[in-house]
């Protein structure tokens, strides 16, 4: 199995720096920044994003997380979604940003946005993804911050895994190319 480079570590770092600037600008009047990181895939993006935000702003950052499962071990969504690790904080009445690795069909993020609004009583929910596969979208969901648009190929690295592997790569690559 080989992995072909799609987006380099430097490109990713630079883009995350730009997204940090966009977020700081948009949220400059908030007294704190509340992130909800989607585990496990969103962890890398979230950590890098927090580092970049901290370089340019002294805003107080709350970084909560939760874990959902929608994919089995394959490369297609199972069409069924479950919260397997509950949100570890109270976001009632808050403006939050979901931090996720990738939007593919849109199923996960559509579910999560509604879940945080209705079940967790967030006031406003925005979405930041490192990667977007626009050609795969089946569920319409507005994305507020996007790292890169990528073609319809299965990628790994920067939090994204294939059967639990390759999450730790610092670049994004296409598997089995």
Tell me whether residue 19 or residue 172 sits nearer to ligand IMP (CB atom).
172
The strand pair at 60-71 and 77-85 is best described as antiparallel
- Please give the residue whose beta carbon sits closest to Mg ion in the complex: 41
Paired with 164 in beta bridges are none
Number of Cβ atoms within 10 Å of the Cβ of 50: 18
Q: Is 159 in the site for Mg ion (CB under 5 A)?
A: no
Q: In the window 79-138, what residues touch ligand IMP (CB under 6 A)?
A: 100-108
Say how many residues touch ligand IMP, by CB under 6 A. 16
Locus of tokens 């700081």: 24
Pick one of 41, 106, 147, 173: the residue that binds Mg ion (CB under 5 A): 41
> Which are the contacts of 149, defined by CB distance < 8 A and separation ≥ 6?
131, 132, 133, 134
Strand order in the sheet with 145-149: 77-85, 60-71, 32-39, 95-103, 124-132, 145-149
Among 19, 156, 152, 153, which residue's Cα sits nearest to residue 101?
156
Determine, following the binding rule CB under 6 A, whether residue 155 of this chain makes contact with ligand IMP.
Answer: yes
> Across the strands, what pairs with 155?
174
Pick the stretch among 16-24, 27-35, 40-48, 122-130 that binds Mg ion (CB under 5 A): 40-48
Q: Residue 23's binding partner, choosing from ligand IMP, Mg ion, none, with beta-carbon cut-off 5 to 8 A by kind?
A: none
- For the question of residue 144 being annotated catalytic, the response is no
Q: Which does 117 bind (CB under 5 to 8 A by kind): Mg ion, ligand IMP, none?
A: none
Per DSSP, the three-state class of 25 is helix
Q: Does 147 engage in binding with Mg ion (CB under 5 A)?
A: no
173 binds, among ligand IMP, Mg ion, none (CB under 5 to 8 A by kind): none
How far is it, in rounded angstroms, from Cα 88 to Cα 59?
21
Window 43 to 82, contacts with ligand IMP (CB under 6 A): 70-71, 77
We find the least distance from the C-beta atom of residue 107 to ligand IMP, in angstroms, to be 4
Task: Give the footprint of ligand IMP on this chain (CB under 6 A).
Answer: 41, 70-71, 77, 100-108, 154-155, 160
């Amino acid at each position: 199995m080989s992995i072909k480079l799609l987006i380099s570590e430097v490109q990713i770092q630079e883009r995350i720096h730009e997204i940090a600037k966009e977020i700081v600008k948009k949220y400059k009047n908030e007294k704190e920044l509340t992130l909800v990181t989607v585990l496990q895939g969103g962890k890398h993006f979230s950590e890098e994003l927090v580092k970049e935000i901290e370089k340019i702003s002294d805003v107080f950052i709350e970084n909560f997380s939760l874990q959902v499962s929608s994919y089995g071990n394959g490369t297609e969504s199972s069409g069924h979604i479950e919260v397997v690790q509950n949100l570890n904080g109270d976001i009632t009445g808050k403006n939050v940003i979901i931090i996720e690795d990738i939007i593919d069909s849109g199923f996960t993020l559509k579910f999560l946005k509604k879940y945080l609004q209705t079940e967790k009583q967030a006031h406003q929910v925005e979405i930041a993804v490192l990667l977007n596969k626009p050609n795969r979208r089946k569920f319409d969901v507005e994305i507020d911050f996007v790292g890169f648009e990528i073609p319809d190929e299965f990628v790994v690295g920067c939090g994204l895994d294939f059967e639990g592997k390759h999450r730790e790569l610092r670049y994004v690559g296409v598997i089995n190319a």
